[in-house]
């Protein structure tokens, strides 16, 4: 099938970078909300997935990732499900270990990068140093003849944020991201947790459409979707490609694990069988590993 005949889906953009370089603050600005203030200790603890309607009306799904060293696997996951990475570098701190690690994930995932040099409002900001440090680590930035765009911003004052938005929109338009909205759905678990209403997994849908009543399998767990909720906790009747959704209705004692692939099954029997097959496969691998 000719992929250009498929309908466009919202691009998935992951914000990555060193701890406290301002990822959540930039995302706040784009969403015009204030998540940072609500975070425990100002540290992002999970992959937040947010659907943002940009000034042009285009919908983009943003993933926020924790910069703390302990959350390596989450960043890895973020990079793997994304179409585009925004690498945030604080102008007063330049390239740091998690900057390099984020860069490594983005390269491994073979996705384009936009660099956002943030906190340029600060007295101690040194944009040139950030650029030369990035270049020294092999980032082929525009200023040095490469094709990686660099935007200088302040998530605090809003300086450069229009440019930043424009860059994201231009690059995502160029990528011309499309997906099949019909057929058996596929996605990835971003995170999962146990909430008062039950086991919940946040799933990024890559193709197909999920609806309440659908059968799915994720890792070794299956579900008949009881309900779907958007990031605001509002119940929705379908989840389309390029969007993240909270799914309730998991059958097992445990919710699926972050990073698990989600596949739709035509009926409960086949969802169960797929989960069972994976359990056996895991057991075989464990035996081989002994």
Q: What is the set of active-site residues?
A: 68
- Are 8 and 181 in contact by the 8 Å Cβ rule? The answer is no
Which stretches of the chain bind Na ion, using CB under 5 A? 20, 42-43
The upper half-sphere exposure of residue 98, i.e. CA atoms within 13 Å in the direction of its Cβ, equals 26
User: Which positions from 61 to 80 touch Mg ion by CB under 5 A, shown as an x/- string?
Assistant: --------------------
Decide which of Mg ion, ligand GTP, Na ion, none touches 231; Cβ closer than 5 to 8 Å per partner kind. none
User: Which positions from 10 to 39 touch ligand GTP by CB under 6 A, shown as an x/- string?
Assistant: -------x-xxxxxxx----------x---
| 98 contacts Mg ion (rule: CB under 5 A) | no
Provide the phi-psi class of 213: left if phi over 0, else alpha when psi is between -120 and 50, else beta. left
Considering the complex, state which of residue 66 and residue 249 has its C-beta at the smaller distance from ligand GTP: 66
- Least separation, in Å, of the C-beta of 10 and ligand GTP? 22
Beta strands in the chain (DSSP E): 12-17, 48-53, 59-64, 84-90, 113-118, 149-152, 186-195, 198-207, 215-218, 221-229, 235-236, 244-250, 261-265
> Which residue's beta carbon is nearest to the bound ligand GTP?
67
Q: What is the DSSP string of 8-38?
A: B---EEEEEESTTSSHHHHHHHHHTS--GGG
| 25 contacts Mg ion (rule: CB under 5 A) | no
- Are 35 and 27 in contact by the 8 Å Cβ rule? The answer is yes
Nearest CA-CA partner of 218 in 229, 206, 230: 206
Residue carrying the six token digits 């953009």: 13
Q: Which of residues 37-66 bind ligand GTP (CB under 6 A)?
A: 42-44, 66
- Residue 75 CB contacts under 8 Å (≥ 6 apart), including other chains: 16, 65, 66, 98, 101, 102, 105
The total number of residues written for the chain in this structure: 290
Task: Report the C-alpha gap between 190 and 64 in whole angstroms.
Answer: 11
- Least separation, in Å, of the C-beta of 158 and ligand GTP? 9
- Are 74 and 45 in contact by the 8 Å Cβ rule? The answer is no
User: Which positions from 169 to 208 touch ligand GTP by CB under 6 A, shown as an x/- string?
Assistant: ----------------------------------------
Considering the complex, state which of residue 61 and residue 154 has its C-beta at the smaller distance from ligand GTP: 154
- Are 86 and 63 in contact by the 8 Å Cβ rule? The answer is no
| 24 contacts Mg ion (rule: CB under 5 A) | yes
Strand partners, 195: 198
Considering the complex, state which of residue 65 and residue 202 has its C-beta at the smaller distance from Na ion: 65
With CB under 5 A as the contact rule, which of the stretches 19-27, 79-87, 224-232, 262-270 interacts with Mg ion? 19-27
> Pseudo-torsion of CA 116, 119, 125, 126, nearest 10°?
0
Considering the complex, state which of residue 14 and residue 25 has its C-beta at the smaller distance from ligand GTP: 25
User: Which positions from 35 to 54 touch Mg ion by CB under 5 A, shown as an x/- string?
Assistant: ---------x----------
| 149 contacts Mg ion (rule: CB under 5 A) | no
Considering the complex, state which of residue 64 and residue 186 has its C-beta at the smaller distance from ligand GTP: 64
In the complex, the residues that contact ligand GTP under the rule CB under 6 A are 17, 19-25, 36, 42-44, 66-68, 118-119, 121-122, 154-156
In the complex, the residues that contact Mg ion under the rule CB under 5 A are 23-24, 44
């Amino acid at each position: 099938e000719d992929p250009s005949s498929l309908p466009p889906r919202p691009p998935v953009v992951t914000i990555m970078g060193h701890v406290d370089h301002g990822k959540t603050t930039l995302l706040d600005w784009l969403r015009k909300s204030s998540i940072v203030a609500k975070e425990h200790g100002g540290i992002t603890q999970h992959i937040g997935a947010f659907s943002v309607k940009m000034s042009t009306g285009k919908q983009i799904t943003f993933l926020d990732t924790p910069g703390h060293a302990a959350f390596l696997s989450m960043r890895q996951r973020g990079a793997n499900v994304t179409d585009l990475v925004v690498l945030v570098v604080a102008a007063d701190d330049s390239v740091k270990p998690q900057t390099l690690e984020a860069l490594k994930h983005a390269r491994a995932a073979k996705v384009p990068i936009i660099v956002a040099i943030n906190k340029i409002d600060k007295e101690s900001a040194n944009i040139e140093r950030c650029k030369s440090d990035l270049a020294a680590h092999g980032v082929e930035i525009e200023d040095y003849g490469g094709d990686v765009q660099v935007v200088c911003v302040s998530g605090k004052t809003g300086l450069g944020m229009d440019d930043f938005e424009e860059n994201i929109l231009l690059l995502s338009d160029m990528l011309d991201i499309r997906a099949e909205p019909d057929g058996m759905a596929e996605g990835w678990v971003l995170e999962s947790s146990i909430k008062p209403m039950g086991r919940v997994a946040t799933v990024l849908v890559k193709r197909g459409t999920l609806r309440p009543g659908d059968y799915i399998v994720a890792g070794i767990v299956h579900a008949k979707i009881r309900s779907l909720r958007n990031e605001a906790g509002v119940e929705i009747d379908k989840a389309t490609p390029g969007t993240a959704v909270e799914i309730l209705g998991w059958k097992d004692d445990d919710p699926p694990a972050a990073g698990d692939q989600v596949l739709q099954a035509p009926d409960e029997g086949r969802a169960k069988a797929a989960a069972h097959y994976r359990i056996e496969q895991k057991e075989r691998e464990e035996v081989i590993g002994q």
